[in-house]
Chains A and B, each alone.
Chain A
Amino acid sequence: MEKKQQLHRQVVMMRQSLFDQGYVDDQFVQLEELQDDTNPNFVEEIVTLYYRDSARLISSIEQALERSPLDFDKLDNLMHQFRGSSSSIGARKVKAECTQFGEHCVGGNGEGCMRSFQRMKREYSALRKKLEAYFQVARQAGPMDTASRSN
């Protein structure tokens, strides 16, 4: 029982850290509110879906960035799709870099696009590691009532 309580405390702290460090925003809370007894792993499933689908988009953006001259309209469209997906899971820092990238596209700034893209990939990977660790501990801890959560 004590180990379970320790795990629950760890889950609460890890979750809080996701918000405090700016990795996720309120949209993540919206996803958590869709989770219930009939769908206890909903958030993890959505995040898994996101990382599966976004890998294809990131690859497309990488290929588009290798072309010369750069097609800024195409890059903007691709990143726009990725931004929409990222915002839907509450990926705050990733979304911010997507917005920055879009601004560089509008300005025709290829170097800016490259830098933004590299930053975006770093945030995307960092978020993935954080969420994977969080979900792993959450699975070990098992369900807890919403009163145990704090935001």
Chain B
Amino acid sequence: MNSEGRRLRPGSALANIKILLVDDDSTILTIVSTLLTMLNHEVSVTTATSALDALSILRVDNVGFDLVVTDHHMPGMHGLQLLERVREEFRIPVIVISADERKMLIRESLERGAASFINKPVKPEDLQDIWRFAKPTRNARL
């Protein structure tokens, strides 16, 4: 794998993306966070270990996130519930990730408005183009 070939051009407006990554598993949070920064050195990744923490972060943050990437199976509020709250309250695109490969979950995620669905384990090629799902207002500033 040639990670250099996959990185965004430095200084590109698409490069300055702010992502909120949500998963109750810190191993996966670390891996996905590292993958994101490897693919795009200018991305800013904030992590949360629960849906409620994620909502707190979104409410406090004044600058605003461009994209939320969330696991589905989490204790308490699950990923699809978080997806609905984020879209309704913040209008930020949400990508759902899960080790659950059932078509039913994929379909439900997309029907509820997920921008995309990624199966775990997350690979670099899964994240390579996620910048295109970031908030449309950001893309329009290119």
| Interface residues of A, Cβ cutoff 8 Å to B | 27, 30-31, 33-34, 39, 42, 45-46, 49-50, 53-54, 77, 80-81, 83-85, 87-90
Contacts and interface: CB of A to CB of B under 8 A. Distances in A.
Contacts of B121: 27, 30, 84, 87-88, 90
Contacts, number: 59
22 contacts: A33-B3, A34-B38, A39-B34, A45-B30, A46-B27, A49-B26, A49-B30, A50-B27, A53-B26, A53-B27, A80-B99, A84-B73, A84-B99, A84-B120, A84-B121, A85-B27, A85-B28, A87-B99, A88-B25, A88-B122, A89-B27, A89-B31
B25 A46 contact: no
Contacts of B73: 77, 80-81, 84
Given A46-B31, A84-B99, A84-B121, 11 more contacts: A27-B121, A30-B124, A33-B124, A53-B26, A53-B27, A54-B27, A81-B24, A84-B98, A88-B28, A88-B31, A90-B121
User: Which of the listed residues B28, B34, B123 has the most CB atoms from chain A within 10 Å of its own CB?
Assistant: B28
B100 interface: yes
B35 interface: yes
Contacts of A34: 31, 34-35, 38
Interface of A: prevailing SS: helix
Contacts of B31: 31, 34, 46, 88-89
Nearest to B122: A88
B30 A53 contact: no
Nearest to B1: A33
A83 B120 CA distance: 10
A31 B35 CA distance: 9
B27 A87 contact: no
Which A-B residue pairs are the 5 nearest by beta carbons?
A84-B99, A50-B27, A88-B121, A87-B121, A27-B121
A116 B79 CA distance: 28
A34 B34 CA distance: 7
A123 B25 CA distance: 20
Contact of B25 (A31, A33, A84, A90): A84
Interface in B1-24: 1, 3, 24
A102 to B, nearest CB: 10
Contacts of A83: 99
B96 to A, nearest CB: 13
Interface string B67-87: 000010100000000000000
B2 to A, nearest CB: 10
Contacts of B3: 33
